[in-house]
Amino acid sequence: MHTQDTFMGNVQGLGLRMLTQFASSDIADRLKIRKPIENMLYQGSKTGFQIATKAARIFTPAKSSGTATRLPSQKRNNLFDLTLSDEQQMTRDSLSRFAKEVIRPAAHNADESHAISAELQAQAAELGLMYYAIPEALGGAATEDSLVTQMLALEDLGHGDFSLAAAIYAPVSVANVLTRFGTASQQQQYLPAFIDEAKPTIASLACNEPVAVFDPNNLKTTATLSGDSYVLNGEKSLVLLAADSELFIVSAQLDGKPALFIVESGLDGLTLSDEPAMGLKAAKTARLHFNNVSTPKENLLTEANYREFLDLGALASCATAVGTAQAVLDYVTVYANEREAFGEPISHRQGVAFMIADMAIEVDAMRLLTWSACSLAEAGKPFHREAHLARILCAEKAMKIGTDGVQILGGHGFTKEHPVERWYRDLRSVAITQNAISL
């Protein structure tokens, strides 16, 4: 217990220093990042069929008609440089320890209970990841696009556990979308609540649909303009933290084209139902039902680049998958060297050794494609091709690495005694989900 307390104190200190250096200002001190977050209210992990969504907090409408705050792209040369900055390395050191000493030990119970604990959510909030998503002018700490740093953070969190990483990052993803695509009034109305010291907003993306061969460019959920509101009808599946969320970014077909809408929880006609899944259990997935749900006309993200939104969501999933795939590789390597059969470690068998070598190659390929795409995006350059390639590779290889990890453990891989079976279940979501999280 003493070690845990000491670690959390160190993490908070590291988080404060990295934010201060990153922003090159006193913003972190003014925001008092180290102040403990008050206990957040969580609903039970089980939600009954057709339960009303959580009553929304009051987001005071903003009257500003100014220009939206956008984070500038980072200036860099044409070289693909893999060298991390001091701030990025500090971030990685902090999050790697957090993933190893906090997330990994909590993952099994979170999977069993189908929920992320309020304590873990609060500890993750104290790391300050949300401040990378919100511009300094709006109360955050970001002075330029930190897409690569956020990608590294997701990779490190994913190394602890895929499902918990997705749950921790769901609210950050919504803040990213509002920062990148929101209007000035939308940003001023919603973003400050994400860094509320007493009770930060819980939010999530609602983009997947329960249809065969889901196409994010041809949505079944529809939006129709009616007076001063848009009326939404349809269903969204595998929504992370759905029962706890106070705000959603919802994709819907508008005039024959996909569009993004801000939808507050607690609206009439917005209900949710249980949707237990093979993986992502700690992220408390549920299905959202829209039955003539009215959201104000002002809540359409008119400046959204939908293809860019899809690409950034794909890269977020890829980054998390890279971290979890690396966890599988690390685990089975140790296991194969320690597990003996017929008087020698099973790693001495070519069938096992070659399988692990292939996993190492595949993990590095996934990582390099993801890093390359994120680097281009952060520099403000076209990255659609690279994001598409990364998604295709990660969707295929993440499942293969999970399968091979279970295979190497043999009968042990089928049991919950080892975490590989959980990682196997979670990694399969990479090929199924669309924009559950976003950079």
- What's the confidence (pLDDT) of residue 28? 42
Taking only the tens of pLDDT, the chain with its 439 residues reads: 444 444 444 444 444 344 444 444 444 444 444 343 333 322 333 333 456 676 667 787 766 557 888 888 877 656 667 788 888 898 899 999 999 999 999 999 999 999 999 999 999 988 889 998 999 989 888 888 889 999 999 999 999 999 999 999 999 999 999 999 999 999 999 999 999 888 899 999 999 999 988 999 999 999 999 999 999 999 999 999 999 999 999 999 999 999 999 999 999 999 999 998 999 999 999 999 999 999 999 999 999 999 999 999 999 999 999 999 999 999 999 999 999 888 899 999 999 999 999 999 999 999 999 999 999 999 999 999 999 999 999 999 999 999 999 999 998 888 899 999 999 999 999 998 888 999 9
DSSP 94-154: HHHHHIIIIIHHHHHHHHHHTS--HHHHHHHHTTTGGGGTSBGGGTS-BSS--HHHHHHHH
Residue 158 in domain: no
Residue 162 in domain: no
Residue 333 in domain: yes
Bridge partners (DSSP) of residue 51 are 272
Q: Is 247 exposed, middle or buried (0-12, 13-18, 19+ CB in 10 A)?
A: buried
Instruction: Write the CA distances from 199 to 38, 57, 205, 398, integer angstroms.
Output: 6, 10, 19, 35
Vertex 94 angle, CA 69 and 318, to 5°: 65
pTM for the full predicted model: 0.85
- What's the confidence (pLDDT) of residue 37? 33
Per-residue pLDDT reduced to its tens digit, 225-247: 999 999 999 999 999 999 999 99
Q: Is 77 exposed, middle or buried (0-12, 13-18, 19+ CB in 10 A)?
A: exposed
Bridge partners (DSSP) of residue 398 are none
Buried b (16+ CB within 10 A) or exposed e, 366-404: bbebbbbbbbbbbbeeebeebbeebbebbbebbbebbeb
Domains: count for the chain? 1
Short-list 230, 217, 386, 213, CA closest to 315:
386
Torsions phi, psi for 202 (to 5 deg): -95, 130
Per-residue pLDDT reduced to its tens digit, 278-328: 999 999 999 999 999 999 999 999 999 999 999 999 999 999 999 999 999
Single-letter code of the amino acid located at 247: L
Q: Is 188 exposed, middle or buried (0-12, 13-18, 19+ CB in 10 A)?
A: buried
User: Using an 8 Å Cβ cutoff, are 405 and 420 in contact?
Assistant: yes
> Can you read off the two tokens belonging to residue 50?
């057709």
Residue 67 in domain: no
Vertex 417 angle, CA 413 and 420, to 5°: 45
- What's the confidence (pLDDT) of residue 61? 76
Contacts of 279 (CB under 8 A, 6+ apart): 162, 163, 422, 425, 426, 427, 428, 429
CATH number of the domain encompassing residue 424? 1.20.140.10
**Domain span holding position 417:** 306-431
Torsions phi, psi for 95 (to 5 deg): -70, -30
- What's the confidence (pLDDT) of residue 86? 87
User: Using an 8 Å Cβ cutoff, are 74 and 379 in contact?
Assistant: yes
Residue 53 in domain: no
For residue 126, the number of C-alpha atoms closer than 13 Å in the C-beta half-sphere is: 24
Residue 343 in domain: yes
**Separation of alpha carbons 102 and 123, rounded Å:** 9
Residue 132 in domain: no
Residue pointed to by tokens 């971030």:
91
- What's the confidence (pLDDT) of residue 77? 59
Runs of H (alpha helix) within 182-261: 184-194
Residue 34 in domain: no
Strands 257-264 and 222-226: unpaired
Instruction: Write the CA distances from 173 to 34, 230, 332, integer angstroms.
Output: 22, 23, 31
Bridge partners (DSSP) of residue 289 are 235, 271
Instruction: Write the CA distances from 403 to 61, 67, 400, integer angstroms.
Output: 49, 49, 5
**Separation of alpha carbons 419 and 416, rounded Å:** 6
Helix axes 147-160, 306-338, angle to 10 degrees: 40
Torsion of CA 275, 217, 162, 119, to 10 degrees: -60
Contacts of 200 (CB under 8 A, 6+ apart): 37, 40, 125, 130, 171, 193, 194
Buried b (16+ CB within 10 A) or exposed e, 119-138: ebbebbbbbbbbbbbbbbeb
> Can you read off the two tokens belonging to residue 143?
């002075």
